[in-house]
Chain A
Amino acid sequence: MIRGASSGIKAIRDVSGSATSSIPRLEWKVATVVAVRDETRRARTLVLDVPEWPGHLAGQHVDVRLVAEDGYEAQRSYSIASAPGSAHVELTVERIENAEVSPYLCDVLQPGDGVEVRGPIGGYFVRRPDDRSPLFLVGGGSGVVPLMSMLRQHASSGSATSVRLLYSARSHDDVIYKNELNAIVAAGRARVELALTREWPSDWKGFRRRIDRAMLEEVAPPASDGGRAYICGPTPLVESVANLLVEIGYDAASVRTERFGPTA
């Protein structure tokens, strides 16, 4: 136990300073569910207390492993929604119909339950706290989760960095973190544009279609600003948006992607 804690502290120092770091052996740990919070009809946030948590970078994820009495096992990855430095690790999980893991996490898991996690994982799809380049976040559906960690990190920092979020969801009811996004915008900490793809209120002033080139030309910071883009969500959306950003002038090296697989 103590060995794990001391190598964890070393990891925090390395991770903030260098491009990659020696990571302590990632081990499975049993986290305790401290609270659950329903975000939308389909999405729930799990607030976890993870023993010896070494801290994380915005954009990283954890692996979650579920083992049944008869030995059946399922494993999935979930992005960390909470900002680095938060007291607990928060995961926002979207329930996928007839799936293996998300219905369990959304419907069965309760405060007091244990759940096995491994992390934090991933050094590529990460936004470091000292990165001051203009930031463009594009999320589709639950792809907004790791972007929220980045946005929360920025919102609570004093930095004047320009941050924009373009978030695509099926309907207004499916927009996760609505109130918090409104507060961030009201405080002038970021610009947020929503694109609803299937239904929208009759007085909806945001975008009423899937993300396309024209939308990106309107919303994305100009490539000449030297900004960085992070795109996360279903694979088809991620690949399409990445290609379009390059088409409108972004350098491929300034665009980072995280694919979540098929559209749910």
Chain B
Amino acid sequence: MTILSSTIEAMMNETRLDGNAAAGPLSELFARDITTALATCAKCGRETPVGTLFDYGQAMGVVLRCNGCEGAMLRLVRTPGSLRLDPSGVSMLIVATG
């Protein structure tokens, strides 16, 4: 039986970044900086600033996951000739305009 201890699990996830790291790629698509935006997870309803979401994409693209349920909220890939965004994991995005 293999169960990862919480320490080992923490080590395994140490490669994850957060929404701050995605801000550059996201700026290629969004007119406003959305890292301060509140995003509601379509799976579990948790509302989190985009800057805090876990970013797992690394070199392949942006994969922002919910801090609560780890559901993929926002995914972004840059291909030659297009930017592809799957926002289906976000049911609401609120950007304060001041």
Contacts and interface: CB of A to CB of B under 8 A. Distances in A.
Q: Do chains A and B make direct contact within the complex (CB under 8 angstroms)?
A: yes
B33 A258 contact: no
Interface size class of A (residues with CB under 8 A): 20 to 34
B19 to A, nearest CB: 7
Interface stretch (A116-124, A152-160, A164-172, A212-220): A116-124
Contact of B14 (A19, A21, A256, A263): A263
A231 to B, nearest CB: 11
A25 to B, nearest CB: 8
Interface residues of B, number: 30
A26 B11 contact: no
Interface stretch (A32-40, A48-56, A80-88, A233-241): A233-241
Interface in B27-64: 27-28, 31-37, 49-52
A239 B10 contact: yes
Interface in B52-98: 52, 95-98
Given A77-B24, A122-B20, A122-B23, A19 B15 contact: no
Contacts of B28: 26
Contact of B24 (A20, A63, A259, A262): A63
A236 B8 CA distance: 11
Contact of A124 (B13, B24, B27, B49): B49
A121 B98 contact: no
Contacts of A188: none
Contact of B20 (A14, A22, A23, A258): A258
A63 B27 CA distance: 12
A257 interface: yes
Given A26-B27, A236-B10, A262 B21 contact: no
A260 B15 CA distance: 8
B96 A20 contact: yes
28 contacts: A19-B98, A20-B36, A20-B97, A21-B32, A21-B33, A22-B32, A23-B31, A26-B28, A77-B24, A118-B24, A121-B23, A122-B51, A123-B51, A124-B50, A124-B52, A125-B20, A235-B13, A235-B15, A240-B10, A256-B52, A257-B18, A257-B52, A258-B18, A259-B20, A259-B21, A261-B14, A261-B16, A262-B15
